[in-house]
Structure 1
Amino acid sequence: MLEMVQPSARHAAPPVVLQWTRQGPSLGPAEDLDYGITLLRAAQNGLITSPMVRLYRPAPTVAFGQRDARLSGFARAQQACRAHGFAPVVRRAGGRAAAYHAGSVVVDHIQRDQDAMQGFQDRFAGFGEMFAQVFRSAGVPAAVGEIPGEYCPGEYSVHTSLPPGPGGAERGPVKLAGTAQRVVKGAWLFSSSIVVEDPAPIRAVLVDVYEALGLDWDPATAGAATDAVPGLDVETFAAGLRAAYQPVEDRPWADLLEAVPPR
């Protein structure tokens, strides 16, 4: 198990959210990514003035990084996604291919910030630790840090250790969440994909996608929280996440799909 990354004092406390977007179904794989950027631009332009969180269960998606799209095997990787029932999309943030589906939660935190680059690295540590704490509260022994051979590797990935397999065989850690960040002048978007349940389809699609891209990784690192705690579900994790944000007051959900329509 890797050492847990500790957030700095600036981001040690759970973030405060003053408003939530209405929780609902996915808008569609590409539309979900685009709407996050739409909300970021709305914050930049002053249409969103309070910290805002969008929480949703995504459609089956493989989100490629910009570097992936330039590889010679990218077209084959897209075909592999479709063969597994996942939509291939290219995100504007960095990183490598990551997969998520309805057994996952995507969290978009959008915040207006006149000095948006300040605390860029602290946000990775702070949000990662918050997600890990939500998992720990649900009985999942989660920590923050890159694990060897993981897909879409990142210094602040959230992972969990697994109990021994049949016959006492040791099993390595699995990745539960990856995070990405986009900063514009006056605002930032912190987006996280968190795999709670049903890991088999994610592992299967990533095996074929990474083979097509010619990228090395260890498929054993692709998993879900239910690998460690069978029976945990998305609704339970989402409820824990909302509690972790510690809203300063109980405000109603904001119907931003009307106030800031998707493009």
Structure 2
Amino acid sequence: MNDVFKQAWKFLDHTSFGPSFHALQSFAYDDTLCTLIGQEQASPTLRAWVHHDTIVLGTQDSRLPYIQDGISFLTEHGYDAIVRNSGGLAVVLDSGVLNLSLILKEERHLSIDAGYDLMYTFIKHMLKADTTDPIEAKEIVGSYCPGSYDLSIHGKKFAGISQRRIRGGIAVQIYLCVSGSGSERAALVRDFYTEAIKQAETKFTTPSIIPETMASLSELLGKRYTVNDILLRMLETMHNFGATLTTSSFTNEEHLLYEQNLTRVTLRNERCLA
């Protein structure tokens, strides 16, 4: 674990770009970094990001029988909807949700499970001073986008981990519900599925969402956290693990690769929602 962090890391802070920062840009950034790091043209990277009022759908979600009705419902409630280029189902992003990507070179010892465990261990260390209750990694039935690496306290999910492997790089991503109401976010996704399915048969099993199974860290720990509070703890954890953090912007060549990836993920999104 510590050996992964005991090296030079780049830090990219995309948490304050505001409402104009589109979620598709984040997928383009992570694919670009995966490529550069996989080709050993860049250092491992910690990237933090926030998007405003966006529902990130999975590819399966985009194939629901009444998907356009579901998207219209989200639009009416002030949310944009996009389709991610990795696995999973619908999740909510807003100003109270902090996203983190640990992006590093794919190595033989970094199996898929090892990638998930890397992030799980990182989050446990990050929050160990805040709670004496265990943070568990297990599927929380009733949550949105359920998976075996849902992170929860007392059975209430506050985070979910995903992973993307492309061109020799690995992006281990997590969304952390820092503040706000976890159950209100879950109710929004529940109602989206109601509109997008309408009792029709589906080719996959959609989650039966129980809003009370989800909560934010502020709700669970009884403290008023902000995204910046948790971001600072992330940086402290990187330092404690022995990482050396530097910041830098993309070169012209790297930015060109980013633009190419942005075009690709945008076209894919349009095809999925056509």
Asked if TM exceeds 0.5, the reply is yes
Q: How many residues align?
A: 240
Q: Distance in 2 between matches of 1:152 and 1:140?
A: 26
Question: Are residue 192 (structure 1) and residue 184 (structure 2) matched?
Answer: no
CA distance in 2, matches of 1:210, 1:147: 18
In 1, Cα distance between the equivalents of 2:253 and 2:233? 27
Whether the 8 Å CA contact 1:63–1:90 is kept in 2: the answer is yes
Question: Residues 189, 255 of structure 1: CA spacing in aligned structure 2 closer, same or farther, 3 A cutoff?
Answer: same
2:105 equivalent among 112, 115, 120: 112
Asked if 1 retains the 8 angstrom alpha-carbon contact of 2:187 and 2:209, the reply is: no
Q: Structure 2 unaligned runs (5+)?
A: 198-205, 260-274
2:49–2:100 Cα contact (<8 Å) kept: yes
> Structure 2 vs 1, CA of residues 204 and 217 (structure 1 numbering), >3 Å: closer, same or farther?
closer
The answer to whether the Cα contact below 8 Å between 1:54 and 1:108 also exists between their aligned partners in 2 is yes
1:122 corresponds to 2:105: no
Q: 1:118 to 1:24 in 2, by over 3 A?
A: closer
Distance 1:109 1:126 in 2: 9
Q: Do structure 1's residue 238 and structure 2's residue 221 form an aligned pair?
A: no
Distance in 2 (CA, whole Å) between partners of 1:104 and 1:47 is: 30
Query: How far does the alpha carbon of each residue in 1:177-223 deviate from its partner, in whole angstroms, 9 at most, with x for none?
Result: 11111112421111111110012652342132232344322111232
Percent identical: 17
**2: CA distance between counterparts of 1:98 and 1:30?**
14
* Alpha-carbon distance in structure 2 between the residues aligned to 1:224 and 1:24: 18
Distance (Å, rounded) in 1 between the aligned partners of 2:25 and 2:167: 23
- Look up the match of 2:217: 225
Q: CA deviation at 1:147?
A: 1.6
Q: Aligned partner of 2:168: which letter?
A: G
3-state SS of paired residue (1:150): coil
Q: Which residue of 2 aligns with 1:30?
A: 24
What is the RMSD computed on CA atoms of the aligned residues?
2.5
Alpha-carbon distance change, 69 to 106 in structure 1, aligned in 2, over 3 angstroms:
same
Q: Which has the higher helix share?
A: 2
Letter in 2 for 1:255: S
> Are the structure 2 counterparts of residues 152 and 95 from structure 1 closer, same or farther at C-alpha, using a change threshold of 3 Å?
same
Equivalent residue for 2:69? 76
1:158 to 128, 136, 151: 151
- The answer on whether the counterparts of 1:74 and 1:213 sit within 8 Å (CA) in structure 2 is yes
Letter in 1 for 2:246: P
- For structure 1, which segment, 249-258 or 214-223, has the greater mean C-alpha deviation from structure 2 after superposition? 249-258
SS in 1 for 2:86: coil
Q: Secondary structure at the match of 2:175?
A: strand
Q: Which structure 2 residues correspond to residues 170-209 of structure 1 after superposition, within 5 A?
A: 173-199=155-181, 202-209=185-192
How far does residue 46 in structure 1 lie from its aligned partner after superposition? 3.5
1:19 and 2:10 matched: yes
**Which residue does the alignment assign to 1:167?**
none
- Segments of 4+ in structure 1 off by > 6 A? none
Q: TM-score, normalising length from structure 1? A: 0.80
Moved more, 152-161 or 23-32: 23-32
Q: Distance in 2 between matches of 1:41 and 1:76?
A: 36
Secondary structure in 2 aligned to 1:80? helix
Please tell me the residue identity of whatever aligns with 2:55.
V
> Per the alignment, in what secondary structure is the counterpart of residue 191 of structure 1?
strand
Instruction: Give, in angstroms, the shift of residue 23 of structure 1.
Output: 4.3
Name structure 1 gaps, 5 residues minimum: 1-10, 162-172
Shift of 1:64: 0.9
1:81-130: CA deviations, max 9, x gaps? 22222211111111111112111111112112354x84211111231232
Deviation (angstroms), 1:159? 1.1
The structural deviation recorded for 1:148 is: 2.0
Question: Taking structure 2 as the reference length, what is the TM-score of the superposition?
Answer: 0.77
Tell me how far 1:153 sits from its aligned partner. 0.6
Going from structure 1 to structure 2, the CA distance change for 1:127 and 1:71 (only over 3 Å counts) comes to same
